[in-house]
Structure 1
């Protein structure tokens, strides 16, 4: 047993003392998760299933309790040894909580309950709070998926304006370059997988594997052969064209794609002389599509100029919407890419008459790392406690920050069948969900039970998640 795999120790230190802090007679608590606003007005809910499977997928054992007891004794915190022993002895180590959530892939406005967590054993009312640390980490895949989804909306807007096949183009228009820029392999897996909810292009292997392990998707993303600076510059500047020719010989196949970083020295010289003259006929004869990658400079200006030079060298064809589509070549911009620069680049090139078909993006740190829990202001809060047999609303209302007012009472989320709008509404005392008679006409429950007493009871497939996110519902 590893300390790092012990679910009892996957918490904040002060949580170990909280079982002694609730009022006497407390035998149930109810918590919820929401985005309290932030950069975007809606979030794409994703990743809870992965968090549950990875962190709570095995029962707690007496060995786990022993290790946690000894750790907290040395660490300076009291430890609920009897409470954890009871979970092992009475529940077989399976945690007595119920977790309900919106279906993964749902696009839900901020300020709505996305998840609820409640205790199911009167002797373990303290447990939902104890789990806050590991459960709230779902903010990360939700936020990555949201950023990626918003980028998809932007790119699709320009494709619909300038492309003959927007639906066929969108899946590979934003490639995940973020694996090396994240804080851990776990982040690469969760974040890389979250991006794949919206796109199918990635170089983050961990994300593809995470989708396989946690959502049963055999192959969630794809990549292509591509050069990096070391594989180009190792030939020497005087043999730059030979490095490019080698890429064509090795990887350029009819109908295939090959990406070559071309700015190790002078991107404009590489396009006009090497690609546009020396290798032009070889590119055309290969039957492949060459993807030129600039990797420095001011993105809006560089992309526009690269497209113009490639148009001069290879020509273009006007599509049915009157926009130019380059022959034989494309561009991928992977430097300085973020939601704002994506829009600025697309506005520039489409304004110059080039279809968005000509361009793909690679996004790294801005996709998987340049975000925090406050990007969408995620919080997990207690909203109700049952004390001496009666439910009591619980909430915070700090005078210094009205944005941190929390919700009160037991709650669920409902959705309007026709309009797709959401509302967080109260639950009757001790009810798990709303009965049909409790729902207003046109409204339906938007939450389902996904986890109960240590068991995953709803296992979403990646295809279901993708379909839901693409529909924006």
Structure 2
């Protein structure tokens, strides 16, 4: 196994750069900066041109204090150099990349590098660098830029995801204020559904923690482990992240179809129990579904009505036997979602209302639609979207409404949306601002293709219909957290200053063929806090460079400053004040 070879964690062109700098170079300074938000999928009503800085401490602990220390400085010199040289020789040609610099670095015994950074959880203005790299030994200026590829690959995404998560937090906080919903509920209203769609487990756990800076709801289990391993969290003493029991389609469809078969053959007493289900492998589940479906087709029965009955009985088992207390989430669109939300929900009303609370006082059944347009599934249609006859009345065809733009017909339930349908069955209370909140025995979560614009539109429609924002939870998945790139906020590391012999050199780039996005900072810099903004000052003196908000956090193989998840959350939350309700044009 090659494993993680520290100085191989780069793209090939970085390996030649140490030899390309002027031989007299003794100091090199580089920064890592979000250069632009022009590609960011954010809401202009809420985005204030700032990113959430996050991920540095985890990187330092995992790589500089872990991989580099273990696999290079603590490894025998010959072995550490052999692995590097072999890769360079096989790919670039024998001795194309000399190893003398790495040999000298191994002799030195530590990484002669200082990182100065802003606090994690700070929201940093676009074009302001949250971290700079400075070599601490005149013989090794190249270490300031050698790690560009590794650092960028590990840092751009956690910080970007943390930023998107906080933009969700802003949106949900604003609508909670607008509609009088409980602010404490916002902590759970954004739920991380992204793990299976992320770029590997490591990516999922780091970005999953980026989500946890703004919310406590998560289904990404290793994100909690990452927070404990690298950010001083302790799930025994604080709420790091949490979730609830929830079904998936394989569970629901198998139990529904198995129950359907028993009903169709007069064996309704032989339902598939949870214990029996747990003994089945995924392959067993797939085969069982196919077998049951085939047998039912051969039996001959009125499928739709019987299947609805079977689904009702399965949901009844879930809410009265499997999970008679506490919270449970049921995926509800396996077959006929609107039947579940309008008919079955009504038929099981007494059972659901009778469920017992757990130790936290929770006893909610959460219905989860998982297909269709999330805006209209949750919040229904505005009347302006429906076709009208010449007399102004809403057009009806066979008892269904006509959608003006598509001529598609929809039911009364579709027109109202899920929140209103549940309200008409279960009722609820009103907030101090007069908005309706569902009975706390029922709720909704939608986790398919949720984006900031869709979440905004759902919030807007619900408010327009008189419903509080807290009636729904959003499962934020890879559609949002993995549909990103380094260009989302234009992250880049660039050298900005060098000392060549006795000559200081301000380094910068300003391509004439660019729109200004790639113009880099020039010379030594200083970052100062001005109110709620971080401000960049370029071409500073050496004394001025030592001042400002960029503080040393790592130097010569030692972590100088540590922070915790709790501190980051507090810092982030304090960085933004919710606008007055009604002050934002929606």
- For the pair 1:349 / 2:348, whether they are aligned, the reply is no
Compute the TM-score of the two structures, normalised by the length of structure 1: 0.93
Partner residue, 1:241: 312
Identify if the C-alpha distance between structure 1 residues 4 and 408 changes in structure 2 by more than 3 Å, giving closer, same or farther.
farther
CA contact (8 A) 2:506 2:539 kept: no
CA contact (8 A) 1:181 1:365 kept: yes
Say which of 124, 135, 138 aligns to 1:108. 124
> Alignment partner of 1:113: what SS?
coil
| Whole-angstrom distance in 2 between the partners of 1:120 and 1:13 | 25
CA deviation string 1:166-196 (max 9, x = no partner):
2x11100010000100111111011101100
Identify if the C-alpha distance between structure 1 residues 164 and 182 changes in structure 2 by more than 3 Å, giving closer, same or farther.
closer
CA contact (8 A) 1:225 1:251 kept: no
Partner residue, 1:307: 419
Compute the TM-score of the two structures, normalised by the length of structure 2: 0.75
Report matched runs for 1:17-36 at 5 Å: 17-36=16-35
- For the pair 1:89 / 2:107, whether they are aligned, the reply is yes
Q: Which moved more, 1:110-119 or 1:403-412?
A: 403-412
- Measured after TM superposition, the shift of residue 250 of structure 1 is 4.7
| Whole-angstrom distance in 1 between the partners of 2:470 and 2:112 | 52
Say which of 141, 149, 157 aligns to 2:158. 141
- For the pair 1:323 / 2:435, whether they are aligned, the reply is yes
CA deviation string 1:356-397 (max 9, x = no partner):
121110011133211000000111000011101222001111
CA contact (8 A) 1:259 1:291 kept: yes
Query: How many residue pairs end up in the alignment?
Result: 456
| Whole-angstrom distance in 1 between the partners of 2:104 and 2:13 | 21
CA contact (8 A) 2:449 2:480 kept: no
Partner residue, 1:439: none
Partner residue, 1:441: none
CA deviation string 1:124-178 (max 9, x = no partner):
1111211111112311101000000001100111111113422x11100010000
- Measured after TM superposition, the shift of residue 249 of structure 1 is 3.2
- For the pair 1:223 / 2:262, whether they are aligned, the reply is no
Partner residue, 2:55: 47
CA contact (8 A) 2:318 2:324 kept: no
CA deviation string 1:400-439 (max 9, x = no partner):
00321111111131112xx22221124755448545xxxx
Say which of 203, 209, 217 aligns to 1:201. 217
> Alignment partner of 1:72: what SS?
helix
Partner residue, 1:297: 372
- Measured after TM superposition, the shift of residue 313 of structure 1 is 1.1
Please give the root-mean-square deviation of Cα atoms over the aligned residues, in Å: 1.6
CA deviation string 1:82-126 (max 9, x = no partner):
211111112x2x211100111000011101111100111111111
Partner residue, 2:170: 153
CA contact (8 A) 2:320 2:351 kept: no
| Whole-angstrom distance in 1 between the partners of 2:339 and 2:234 | 42
Partner residue, 1:442: none
**Which of the pair has more CA radius of gyration?**
2
| Whole-angstrom distance in 2 between the partners of 1:80 and 1:36 | 34
Report matched runs for 1:65-464 at 5 Å: 65-76=81-92, 78-90=96-108, 92=109, 94-137=110-153, 138-166=155-183, 168-219=184-235, 220-235=240-255, 236=257, 238=307, 239-250=310-321, 252-254=323-325, 256-277=326-347, 279-287=348-356, 288-304=363-379, 305-327=417-439, 328-401=441-514, 402-416=516-530, 419-426=531-538, 429-431=541-543, 433-435=545-547, 445-464=548-567
CA contact (8 A) 1:16 1:80 kept: no
- Measured after TM superposition, the shift of residue 5 of structure 1 is 1.8
> Alignment partner of 1:392: what SS?
strand
CA contact (8 A) 1:268 1:309 kept: no
- Measured after TM superposition, the shift of residue 292 of structure 1 is 0.8
> Alignment partner of 2:139: what SS?
helix
Structure 2: unaligned runs, 5 residues or longer: 41-46, 261-306, 357-362, 380-416, 577-586
| Whole-angstrom distance in 1 between the partners of 2:528 and 2:508 | 21
CA contact (8 A) 2:34 2:126 kept: yes
> Alignment partner of 1:139: what SS?
helix
> Alignment partner of 1:459: what SS?
coil
| Whole-angstrom distance in 1 between the partners of 2:196 and 2:471 | 27
CA contact (8 A) 2:114 2:556 kept: yes
| Whole-angstrom distance in 1 between the partners of 2:377 and 2:231 | 39
> Alignment partner of 2:475: what SS?
strand
CA contact (8 A) 1:19 1:80 kept: no
CA contact (8 A) 2:524 2:545 kept: no
| Whole-angstrom distance in 2 between the partners of 1:454 and 1:431 | 24
- Measured after TM superposition, the shift of residue 302 of structure 1 is 0.6
CA contact (8 A) 1:231 1:243 kept: no
> Alignment partner of 1:123: what SS?
coil
